[in-house]
A and B are shown apart, each in its own frame.
Chain A
Amino acid sequence: MKAFDYIRATSVAEAVAAAARPGAAYLAAGTNLVDLMKGGISRPDTLVDVTRLPGLDRIERGTDGSTRIGALVRNAALAHDPVIAKRYPALAEALLSGASGQLRNAATTAGNVLQRTRCPYFYDTASACNKRDPGAGCAALGGVTRSHAVLGWSEHCIATHPSDFCVPLAALDASVEIAGPGGPRSVPLEAFHRLPGDTPERETVLEPGDLVVAVTLPPEAEAFAGHSRYLKVRERTSYAFAVVSAAVGLRMDGDRIGQARIALGSVALKPWRARAAEDLLAGAAPTPETFAAAAEAALADARPSGDNAYKIELARRIVVRALTLAAAGTPDRVPALPASPFAPNPSAPNPSAPSPLAGAPVHA
Chain B
Amino acid sequence: MSFPITLTVNGTRRSVVLEDARVTLLDLLRERLDLTGAKKGCDRGQCGACTILLDGVRVNACLALAVSHDGASITTIEGLAVGEALHPVQAAFLEHDGFQCGFCTPGQILSAVGLIQEGQTGGDPERVREGMSGNLCRCGAYAGITEAVLTAHAALTGPDVLPGRQLAEDAA
Q: Which residues of A contact B (CB under 8 A)?
A: 1, 3-6, 8, 27, 29-31, 34-35, 38, 47, 49, 51, 76, 80, 99-103, 105-106, 237-239, 336-338
Contact = CB atoms under 8 A, between A and B. Distances in A.
Contact of A102 (B20, B43, B44, B134): B134
Given A101-B58, A105-B57, A5 B21 contact: yes
Given A100-B133, A102-B111, A238-B130, A3 B60 contact: no
Interface string B54-69: 1001111001110110
Given A1-B22, A31-B45, A35-B44, A105 B67 contact: no
15 contacts: A3-B20, A6-B21, A30-B65, A31-B45, A34-B64, A38-B43, A49-B67, A80-B118, A100-B134, A102-B58, A103-B134, A105-B114, A106-B60, A336-B124, A337-B130
B41 interface: no
B146 to A, nearest CB: 13
Interface residues of B, number: 36
A34 B63 contact: yes
Interface of B: 1, 3, 20-22, 24, 43-45, 48, 51, 54, 57-60, 63-65, 67-68, 111, 114-115, 118, 120, 124, 126-127, 129-135
Given A34-B24, A105-B59, A336 B64 contact: no
Given A29-B64, A239-B134, A336-B126, 9 more contacts: A5-B21, A6-B65, A8-B68, A35-B45, A38-B44, A99-B134, A102-B114, A105-B59, A336-B124
B58 A105 contact: yes
B63 to A, nearest CB: 5
Nearest to A80: B120
Contacts of B134: 99-103, 239
A101 B111 contact: yes
A101 B131 contact: yes
B130 A336 contact: yes
| Shortest Cβ-Cβ A-B pairs, 7 listed | A100-B134, A238-B133, A336-B126, A6-B21, A239-B133, A105-B57, A336-B127
A106 to B, nearest CB: 5
